Amino acid sequence: MKLAIIGYGGMGSYHAELLGQYASTAPADPLEISGIYDIDPARVQAAKERGLRAFSSPEEIWQDKDTQAVLLAVPNDLHAPYAEAAAAAGKHILCEKPVALSTAQAQEMYAAAKEHGVLFTVHQNRRWDDDFLTVRGIIESGVIGDVYKIESRVVGSNGIPGAWRKEKARGGGMMLDWGVHLIDQILQAIPSKVVRLYCEYSYIYGEEVDDGCDLVLHFKNGISVRIVVATDCFRHLPRWMVYGIDGTAVVEDWDLSGGVTRVIEREDKNLVGMRAGNGFTKTMAQRSHSSVQKLPLPVVHAEPFAFYKNFARACAGKERIAVREEEVLRVFRVMEYAAKSAEEHVVIDAEI
């Protein structure tokens, strides 16, 4: 299976590196790079220096019999036109996230793939992040009892990166950049429908697109989730907080630091009050050691290169594609409702 990378920027070159590592494992389901295409001569040069072939035009890829698939790692507004041309040329398509600029556009891309009998999927790769898999394991194992509230957060202080991510027409903004991943993870982890949501976007840097978002999702099964993306925060905040009726788990970062605190004795008989600011509190005091148990995070690791392996196998008809159309469109519907909520400052009742 050979794939051409269209767009050899930050993500395209990262894929090239990872695909090189995948190839070095001599996989049973190979996925090799036939070449790249980029409009920027500097990126073409960078690819050549890595020993990759540079196609001179997209048409050369469409006509290349050795290339069965394409990986679209171009700015977001170019996903749709490239996907439609690649489908017409009979190439399977691995598209970077966010799949498109709207649900309707995403549906057209899927329709084009079906019309031409090619596989189409989206790189919603953070489903295979160890921190996420660990949180999902915590929810499913019941180690902190029934989970009722989750905070999923990514924060940085570097603003919106690059040029095109600052432009609305190009699919810029942090909701489309990071929000898509965090929503996808949560929809994978919670087997229930979203029934209510509220969202605020931030515009701290004065760009025409959001530089952060704060989204609250309520699910039919009673779980509420807060998703926060920030590019203006100079201090570390936990990547995940998971609240269960019998305890709390924290995943500090992608390095999987953190832990689980589980209640042993609900009413803490040895609880000692403390001074807090100008007052006194027992409510907010630390529990005594005898009333809780501290456990390491039950870390879950993803299978290495699971995404590429699945894509190669799915193209060969050996297994079902992992990131499915209805899941991709569902994430988009949540993002569209979130945009409406943020624009109109309203809580939205839904059934997504």
Ligand X SMILES: NC(=O)c1ccc[n+]([C@@H]2O[C@H](COP(=O)([O-])OP(=O)(O)OC[C@H]3O[C@@H](n4cnc5c(N)ncnc54)[C@H](O)[C@@H]3O)[C@@H](O)[C@H]2O)c1
Q: Which residue has the tokens 């915590």?
A: 138
Among 19, 61, 71, 74, binds ligand X (CB under 6 A): 74
When the beta carbons of 6 and 86 are compared against ligand X, the nearer one is: 6
Give how many residues touch ligand X by CB under 6 A. 23
Q: Does 78 bind ligand X (CB under 6 A)?
A: yes
Phi, psi of 203 (to 5 degrees): -135, 45
Q: Going residue by residue from 109 to 148, which x/- string records binding to ligand X, judged by CB under 6 A?
A: --------------x-x-----------------------
Q: What is residue 259's three-state secondary structure?
A: strand
Sequential DSSP letters for 186-244: HHHH--S-EEEEEEEEE-TT--SS-SEEEEEEEETTS-EEEEEEESS--S---SEEEEE
Q: Does 162 bind ligand X (CB under 6 A)?
A: yes
Task: Using the rule CB under 6 A, give the single segment among 36-44, 104-112, 148-156, 266-274 that binds ligand X.
Answer: 36-44
**Exposed e or buried b per residue across 95-117, where buried means at least 16 C-beta atoms within 10 angstroms of its C-beta:** bbbbbbbbbebbbebbebbeebe
Q: Going residue by residue from 175 to 214, which x/- string records binding to ligand X, judged by CB under 6 A?
A: --x-------------------------------------
When the beta carbons of 33 and 147 are compared against ligand X, the nearer one is: 33
CA distance 323 to 157: 31
CA distance 320 to 314: 6
260 forms beta bridges with 249, 295
Q: How far is the CB of 272 from ligand X (least distance, A)?
A: 47
Q: Does 43 bind ligand X (CB under 6 A)?
A: yes
Handedness of CA 298, 299, 300, 303 (dihedral sign): negative
Q: Does 222 bind ligand X (CB under 6 A)?
A: no
CA angle 271, 274, 278 (to 5 degrees): 155
When the beta carbons of 12 and 258 are compared against ligand X, the nearer one is: 12
Closest CA to 243 of 121, 134, 168, 143: 143
Q: How far is the CB of 58 from ligand X (least distance, A)?
A: 7
Residue 98: cis peptide before it, omega within 30 degrees of 0: yes
Among 11, 54, 233, 300, binds ligand X (CB under 6 A): 11
Q: Does 40 bind ligand X (CB under 6 A)?
A: yes
Task: Using the rule CB under 6 A, give the single segment among 33-41, 239-247, 255-263, 312-320 that binds ligand X.
Answer: 33-41
Ranked by CB distance to ligand X, the top (closest) residue is 9
Q: Does 7 bind ligand X (CB under 6 A)?
A: yes
CA distance 260 to 265: 16
When the beta carbons of 166 and 196 are compared against ligand X, the nearer one is: 166
Contacts to ligand X by CB under 6 A: 6-12, 37-40, 43, 73-76, 78, 96-97, 123, 125, 162, 177
